[in-house]
Amino acid sequence: MTEKTETLIVDTEETTELSAFIFGHNLEHTRAAVNGGLSAQMLRNRKFCGKPSPCGIAAAWEGIGEKAFFRPGDENPDRGERYTRHIGCERMHRINELTSMVAQNLHGGVCGLRQTGLRIERGRAYELRIVARSFLPVRLTAALTDRDGGTVYAEESFELIPGDWRVLNAVLTPSATHDEAGIRFTFTEKTRVLFGAVSLMPADHFHGMRRDVVDCLRQIAPAVIRWPGGNFSGEYRWMDGLLPVDMRGPLQSYMEIESQPYSFGYDFHEIGTDDFIALCREVGAQPFLTINPVWCSPEESARWVEYCNGSADTEYGAKRAENGSKEPYRVRFWSLGNEMGYGHMEGPRTPGEYASLAQKHADAMLEVDPGIELFSSGPYPNGDWAEKSAGALFPKSKYVSLHHYSNALLNYTEDGMEETYYAVVNSAREHAEKIVRMRECLDRFSPGSLISFDEWNFWYAWYRPSCVAEGVFTAKMLNMLINYSDRYKMPFGAFFQPVNEGAIEVTPAGARLTADGQMFAAAKGHHGGRRCRIDGTDEFTAAATVKNGAVFVTVVNDSFDRERQFVLSGLSGKAEGVVYTSQDVSPHTYFEEKPLAVPSDGNGYPISLPPHSVAAVTIVPGRI
């Protein structure tokens, strides 16, 4: 069935500036940092954190040796069995948790540690690194094997000399591809070996990140990336990033395990400030850093600004130079914490208390670099917070964060499919209502403040596969953000979050854009343009921008089962288009990209869109 034709009148004379930063993304942390997220790291629990099993072995690991004895390393630093650590605040270390793994070979034979479930590829080079310590000379062997350890695909042996911690490096190139391979670290001497940290990554990684995931990030073209949170900012310790990556203490999910559900409630701090900046530069994004105002002092926050933006003759600018960048990073955007005032975040609960705390950090940070721009947070939209936090912090902090996740009961069986589909795609209206209410609050109490809608998505996207229904939701959201940005003084937007949470699907075997990610890639034509006024439809159905004379239009047919006809009016020139379509909207579905015929009939450009599809049309004046 086909709906009546809808005429969309695009006015290229009435345009407004469109902020590039509404096309932003969050990178809370590495997510599934076991070769299933952004991190290239393949080993689970590689720093041996958390409580040991009843036999004394760290989670994700197994012991080798029938009569071997295993125990956690002693957390007393004076005994020399602790390797990972934090700089400064030791509150992130729980009593009786592992700090290294001790393997004792009591009676000879083979002793050591192993882990299985690794995907390896024949002929691909993998960088191996072991941080270990022994008390007698030991020949330590590392081997990539089949699951049972009977077949060896690659191995390397090291002479471990008694003394302090040693860093052992090798490149392993397996002779076969295996989806359930294992890695073994073994020795036969009657002594004990301390394993402080181990690492296995493809040799072609980018600053410890997977190349294929970085390539996908480049495809969705984030104008800005917000990091490290999100909730993770309440756990992150930026100064730990000054340590070698293997030495950085695992970061606990202190308030709730949701932050790191894939890795035993920890993040292993694979990405530091320098790595994040390198990633932003690689994908063409501006960095947007979130401080921890509760666990970090204002002085520590100021030092982070100095590390990023100070000259090489300052104390922390010199540390940055030592780490490879003499030139400042010039990080412009800084958030004064995340979701302050909510129960899942530590710190102040009232707007006045938060404003007082944030003011101290803001003053210290601005003293280092008066050119940075600050963002405050809170449980918005909320008039009390608008008055006592946003208003109190303005103009030092002129941006105020808004976060929203829509939710619905997802029943993708045959009897619930249509209802679920509409619950998902129509939830974009919830987000629009939040923006309007937020603007009303700010206009009353802090009219100069700007909205940063720096977390949005459909709830629990991090716990399920994506689908075309959510892709249509994302397309409607992007159209709305384009149309609302100037009207509601909202120059920032950020999707939460691309890696394994909506936009990029990551498995050990590869990475690809989901339907959500395809919509971000499709919207790239809007980047750098000026928003055009469109009459004849709502803010979710279509958005148009003009850049260098060319007009780019995205149109959404959000109908579950009806084709819709549109006419793009008020334009002239040569038109080209693509349509993103699918026969199904349930989980594990993607859009198929097809050419879209966009002929001119003298009155405009008629296009026909099948159910649950999105069109991207470019019209270049003067072309034939």
Phi, psi of 351 (to 5 degrees): -65, -35
Record the tokens describing residue 107, joined without a space.
């009676």
Residue 92: pLDDT over 70: no
Handedness of CA 10, 590, 581, 560 (dihedral sign): negative
| Residue range 186-235, pLDDT digits in tens | 999 999 999 999 999 999 999 999 999 999 999 999 999 999 988 888 88
Record the tokens describing residue 268, joined without a space.
């292993």
Of the pLDDT bands very low, low, confident and very high (cuts 50, 70, 90), residue 31 is: low
Q: Are strands 564-569 and 62-64 parallel, antiparallel or unpaired?
A: unpaired
Q: Rounded to a whole number, what is the largest CA-CA distance in the chain?
A: 90
Confidence (pLDDT) at 360 = 98
Pair 237, 324 in one domain: yes
Residue 103: pLDDT over 50: yes
CB proximity list for 490: less than 8 A, separation 6 or greater = 22, 435, 439, 450, 451, 452, 453, 481, 484
User: Any idea what DSSP says for residue 389?
Assistant: I
Residue 498: pLDDT over 80: yes
Residue 623: pLDDT over 60: no
Q: Cα 284 vs. chain centroid, distance in angstroms? A: 15
Average pLDDT, the chain: 93
Among residues 153, 173, 202, which one ends one of the domains? 202
Confidence (pLDDT) at 319 = 98
Residue 106: pLDDT over 90: yes
Pair 118, 106 in one domain: yes
401 belongs to a structural domain: yes
Q: Look up the CATH number of the domain holding residue 102.
A: 2.60.120.260
Pair 312, 367 in one domain: yes
Phi, psi of 101 (to 5 degrees): -120, 125
Q: Look up the CATH number of the domain holding residue 11.
A: 2.60.40.1180
The fraction of the chain above a pLDDT of 90, given in percent, is 82
Among residues 484, 512, 527, which one ends one of the domains? 527
Residue 595, judged by CB atoms within 10 A of its CB (0-12, 13-18, 19+), counts as exposed
146 belongs to a structural domain: yes
Pair 592, 521 in one domain: no
Confidence (pLDDT) at 252 = 79
Strands across the sheet containing 62-64: 62-64, 111-120, 178-187, 138-145, 152-160
Confidence (pLDDT) at 518 = 98
User: Is residue 608 classed as helix, strand or coil in its secondary structure?
Assistant: strand
582 belongs to a structural domain: yes
Pair 233, 334 in one domain: yes
Pair 120, 257 in one domain: no
Confidence (pLDDT) at 256 = 62
Average pLDDT over residues 256-272: 75
- Number of domains the chain is built from: 3
443 belongs to a structural domain: no
Helices (H), 507-588: 515-522
Handedness of CA 31, 32, 37, 43 (dihedral sign): positive
Residue 97: pLDDT over 70: no
The one-letter amino acid code at 28 reads E
Pair 104, 11 in one domain: no
Angle of helix 211-220 relative to helix 515-522, nearest 10 degrees, comes to 50
Q: Pick the residue with more confidence: 343 or 441?
A: 441
CA distances to 18, 378, 418, 459 from 404, rounded to whole Å, are 22, 12, 24, 9
Q: Are strands 399-406 and 373-376 parallel, antiparallel or unpaired?
A: parallel
Pair 213, 185 in one domain: no
557 with 611: CB under 8 angstroms?
yes
Compute the distance between CA of residue 399 and CA of residue 404 in angstroms, rounded to an integer: 16
Q: Look up the CATH number of the domain holding residue 274.
A: 3.20.20.80
Q: How many CB atoms lie within 10 A of CB 419?
A: 13
Q: Taking the chain, what is the end-to-end CA distance rounded to the nearest angstrom?
A: 34
Q: Pick the residue with more confidence: 578 or 31?
A: 578
CB proximity list for 415: less than 8 A, separation 6 or greater = none
Pair 13, 26 in one domain: no
Average pLDDT over residues 364-393: 98
> Per mean pLDDT, which range of 31-45, 148-162, 197-211, 360-374 is the poorest?
31-45
Pair 188, 234 in one domain: no
Confidence (pLDDT) at 620 = 95
Among residues 479, 503, 527, which one ends one of the domains? 527
48 belongs to a structural domain: no
DSSP H helix total and E strand total for the chain: 11, 31
HEC string for 42-92: CCCCCCCCCCCCCCCCCCCCEEECCCCEEEECCCCHHHCCCCCECCCCHHH
User: Is residue 620 classed as helix, strand or coil in its secondary structure?
Assistant: strand
> Per mean pLDDT, which range of 72-76, 167-171, 568-572, 582-586 is the poorest?
72-76
Of the pLDDT bands very low, low, confident and very high (cuts 50, 70, 90), residue 83 is: very high
264 belongs to a structural domain: yes
Residue 327: pLDDT over 70: yes
Q: Are strands 152-160 and 251-252 parallel, antiparallel or unpaired?
A: unpaired
Confidence (pLDDT) at 316 = 98
Average pLDDT over residues 27-53: 82
Record the tokens describing residue 577, joined without a space.
């288009």
Q: Which of 311, 288, 609, 353 is nearest to 472 (CA)?
A: 609
442 belongs to a structural domain: no
Confidence (pLDDT) at 500 = 80
Record the tokens describing residue 460, joined without a space.
């629990």
570 with 604: CB under 8 angstroms?
yes
Q: Cα 21 vs. chain centroid, distance in angstroms? A: 16
Confidence (pLDDT) at 624 = 43
Beta bridge partners of 186: 112, 141
Residue 366: pLDDT over 80: yes
Residue 393: pLDDT over 50: yes
Pair 139, 184 in one domain: yes
| Residue range 279-323, pLDDT digits in tens | 999 999 999 999 999 989 999 999 999 999 999 999 999 999 999
HEC string for 201-223: EECCCECCECHHHHHHHHHHCCC
CB proximity list for 370: less than 8 A, separation 6 or greater = none
Confidence (pLDDT) at 91 = 55
Confidence (pLDDT) at 537 = 97
Average pLDDT over residues 26-33: 72
Domain containing residue 126: 62-202
Beta-sheet strands, E only, within 188-331 = 192-202, 224-227, 251-252, 266-267, 286-290
Residue 262: pLDDT over 70: no
Confidence (pLDDT) at 172 = 98
Pair 582, 550 in one domain: yes
